[in-house]
Amino acid sequence: DLSDAGVDNKDFLDYLIKKGYTKQELPIQNWKLSELLFTQEFYNREIALAKSEWDIIKSNEALTKLKPTSSIGINIGKSDSNEEISKNIYGGGISFIFESANKKIIRHEIAFNKTQSAYLAYQISVFEKKIKLLEDLISYIENQDLIIVQKKKVKLNQSILHMARKRFNLGLASQVDIDRHTLAISGAYQLLISLQIKQENLKRNLATHVGMKFQKFNQIPINVDHIKGTLEKSLESFRDIEKINEIKYTATLNSLSLRKLLADYAISESELKYEIAKQYPDYIFSPAYTYDLGNYIWSLGIDSVITSSKRNEILINRAKKIRGAQASKVYSYQLDLINKAENLVPKFE
């Protein structure tokens, strides 16, 4: 419920305590960068959806650890013969599957890799939402600075207009001068109002990013100075990385999108292994015991599905092509990532 999304929500307070906040620091008194990011991670609906999808896919891992289903059956019959010891026929049996070529292990491997891919998709969703939040937050800070400057311009224009009127009263200025300064102050006012409207819209965007109603979000002030300091420290730590090779390594190692592509490649690799394993048939064992007209009979049945070599070949070739496509995506993205890292370095020098 959106009405419950607030800084005084009990679950949210418990969440912040787990993140390292003390009870004395809560509830949040002003919006700093960490508070905005934690609130977004807790309340943002799109992030919550991505996490739910990850949880659902993760549950498949437990299913792949289970053995194939077995069956049990009972047979009851009756004969109309008067020559047998007994007219009753009873039987019972079970069936269980023996999987060859480690199919169960490979299925679990596929499910594990899909879980990793879903987890990284969730992390990418968190990262993308953080980027959008930061973009609007930086725009908010820049616009706040412009508002301060524009207010000074308005005040300056008011002073100039006041002096011009004094000069006009003394006969030292014309009506044209008064009109010119009046137009200047009017333009300055209009620009100030435009910046203030933009600031209001940016603040509403921030409320949407963190998953709260604007009325509740707006009750807490944004600590612009603290956020500026945090961003400047982050920039300084980035500038400390002097060598381009270190930046390449860091960008490649920390790239969630690249790790997601690698997880997708691992899925395709596991699925190829599974298609190869499916060439080998599974066996169904069916031991049974029967009491038939006075005779005690046991039996053992063995069944196997005969696979089509042509079908297996087609499925294996398709799996190889999918794996090749995933590998190409990894190489392409990695190259693009390194080139962007090289291009980024001069901008911070």
- CA-CA distance, 200 to 98, in Å (whole number)? 66
3-class secondary structure, 21:
coil
Can you give the pLDDT at residue 71?
A: 75
- Residues 25-51 have a mean pLDDT of 93
Take residue 78 and report the two structure tokens written for it. 């009756």
Cβ neighbourhood burial of 297 (10 Å; 0-12, 13-18, 19+):
exposed
pLDDT in tens, 74-84: 766 665 655 55
Closest Cα to residue 53, out of 127, 105, 115?
115
Q: Which two tokens stand for residue 311?
A: 């079908």
- Looking at residue 68, its amino acid is P
- Distance (Å, whole) CA 123 – CA 33: 19
d(CA 122, CA 152): 45
Instruction: Report the alpha-carbon distance of residue 15 to residue 6 in Å, rounded.
Output: 13
Share of the chain above pLDDT 70, in %: 86
Does pLDDT of 226 surpass 70?
A: yes
Strand order in the sheet with 71-78: 71-78, 88-98, 283-292, 295-304
The mean pLDDT of the chain is 86
Token representation of residue 304: 């196997």
pLDDT tens sequence across 291-331:
665 667 777 788 887 778 888 889 899 999 999 999 998 88
293 three-class SS: coil
Q: What are phi and psi of 303, to 5 degrees?
A: -120, 155
Query: How many whole angstroms separate alpha carbon 262 and alpha carbon 270?
Result: 12
Per-residue three-class SS string for 134-190: HHHHHHHHHHHHHHHHHHHHHHHHHHHHHHHHHHHHCCCCCHHHHHHHHHHHHHHHH
How far apart are alpha carbons 78 and 76 in whole angstroms? 7
pLDDT band at residue 169 under the 50/70/90 scheme: confident
- Taking the model in full, what pTM does it have? 0.77
| Consecutive H or E run containing 336 | helix 309-344
From its phi and psi, is residue 214 left (phi > 0), alpha (psi between -120 and 50) or beta? alpha
Which are the contacts of 108, defined by CB distance < 8 A and separation ≥ 6?
A: 61, 64, 65
- What pLDDT score was predicted for residue 1? 57
- Among 77, 95, 94, which residue's Cα sits nearest to residue 86? 77
Residue 69: strand, helix, or coil: coil
Residue tagged 């019972």 (tokens) = 92
Contacts of 244 (CB under 8 A, 6+ apart): 341, 342, 345
Residue 338 predicted with pLDDT over 80: no
Which tokens hold the place of 223? 């600590």
